[in-house]
Amino acid sequence: MNTNRLQHYRSWRGRRSQAKLAVILMFVFSLISIWSFSDGLTASGGSDPGVLSPTDPALVLARPSEPMTPAVEKQSGEKAKKDTCVQCHREMGDELAAPVTAMQHDIHYQRGLSCADCHGGDPTEEDMDRAMDPRRGFVGRPTPQDIPRFCGKCHSNAEFMKKYNPRLRVDQEAEYYTSIHGKRLVQGDRKVATCISCHGYHGIRAVSDPQAPVYPTNVARTCGRCHANAGYMRSYSIPHDQLEKWQASVHAEALLKKNDLSAPTCNDCHGNHGAVPPGVTSVANVCGACHTRQAELFRKSPHKPAFDEMGLGECLVCHGNHEIHHPSDEMLGVGDQATCVACHSEGEPAYQAAQTMRQMIDQMVRELNQAEALVDRAARAGMEVSRAKFELNDAHDKLINARVVIHTFSVDELQKVVTPGIDTAKKAHRMGVEALNELQFRRKGLAASLVVIFLAVIGLYLKIRQIERPGA
């Protein structure tokens, strides 16, 4: 009976092993078949119609890292159109080939535009005279007076520009004619800046390109090509040191050294296409575009009506225009570097107010420095001072606010923000003192503990000696 069962069990295990082997072999053969089939598709050029292969033209053209092909060289299943402009200029070499070389980085070229899109003519003609026939719209080198309209035929056409960049403004040409440059151009001045003076030509880069002459970090040098040239500007009787002064300013430091692209350069204050010198009535609005709270406080100050009556530019009286330095407490008060004494003399109420406000700021700074030194000392000793540092940060914020409120030129208004700031600094100072007192308490406790432990060790030692003594 047992023998039959054993034989039946062995037969069952054999069939089970054969079934497993069959399943494994079927799985392996299926993989081989799939692999062979995919190789056959690759070799024969077949592919899934819903999937793009890595070499599919549609995928290649969609890669953003590769520049767009210009319109005259695009391949769409047909023979590429001829562009005799590019062919001839490239073959002639030297300076005549320069436009073709420069166009490689041109934003227009990258968007599919070529020579004839700006200069007109017929780029498919082999004959030079026919290709550059004015009757076919050809324009060679436009005069300075023609350049704004030359660029504006596209850039002022909203319908046309939507095909390339729907967000781009289409009022640059109209705005240009409101600028001092545009007005002088209409009057016949051929030296003034036009589109190509700032953007260049044949190699016009996108505004977002760091190598573009109108990129924020390059704007000042671009304007300076004319405005920093003493000989070029002589006939206009205006200063030519703006670039040098701006480069020494806090704005240039932020833009060029800290790479803060929000820091102002020429066009942020003067405008770009509608560039005009900011007058007395607009300079505060220009500064207030960034320094909003200071401008708001100044408009409510007693200086506002006085400056308006005297025709003074609000911000620039104290801060200057191009060479704006870091503001400091030294500008306030009656010291040698104070701007207040330029207008106010000793004995005047305003003179006394300036002196008082400076004393208030100095007291706040003094209290804050003392508290900061004490808290730092406690922190270096390993004490927990996070709450005290929080109070210090709050006091720093209140000091910054106090320096802004100075623009009210009111002792009472300044007192409202200085007093809480001093109280906060004193609170942080008390916390620092408490932390140092706690440190001394811990040190004394540790010393007492060490004395007790030392005496206990001595007593234990003497007791052991007593026990080990013979006859004890």
Is 304 inside a domain boundary?
yes
Is 368 inside a domain boundary?
yes
Q: How many CB atoms lie within 10 A of CB 385?
A: 24
Exposed/middle/buried for residue 322 (C-beta within 10 Å: 0-12, 13-18, 19+)? buried
Could you tell me if 310 and 371 lie in one domain? no
pTM for the full model? 0.72
Is 414 inside a domain boundary?
yes
Could you tell me if 319 and 354 lie in one domain? no
Is 430 inside a domain boundary?
yes
Closest CA to 147 of 176, 115, 178: 176
d(CA 77, CA 60): 15
Could you tell me if 359 and 391 lie in one domain? yes
d(CA 8, CA 124): 91
DSSP letters spanning 410-456: -HHHHHHHHHHHHHHHHHHHHHHHHHHHHHHHHHHHHHHHHHHHHHH
Could you tell me if 364 and 316 lie in one domain? no
Could you tell me if 309 and 363 lie in one domain? no
What confidence score (pLDDT) does residue 43 get?
A: 37
Count of domains in the chain? 2
Stretches in the chain below the pLDDT threshold 70: 1-81, 280-281, 471-472
Is 231 inside a domain boundary?
no
Could you tell me if 377 and 430 lie in one domain? yes
**What is the CATH number for 398?**
1.20.140
Please list, in sequence order, all residues whose beta carbon lies within 8 angstroms of the beta carbon of residue 179, skipping any fewer than 6 positions away: 271, 273, 274, 275, 276
Report DSSP state, residue 80: P
pLDDT in tens, 56-113: 332 222 333 333 334 444 433 333 467 888 888 888 888 888 888 888 889 999 988 8
Domain extent for 391: 349-436
Is 364 inside a domain boundary?
yes
Domain boundary among 325, 360, 384: 325
Domain boundary among 293, 325, 357: 325
Is 358 inside a domain boundary?
yes
Is 406 inside a domain boundary?
yes
Could you tell me if 355 and 428 lie in one domain? yes
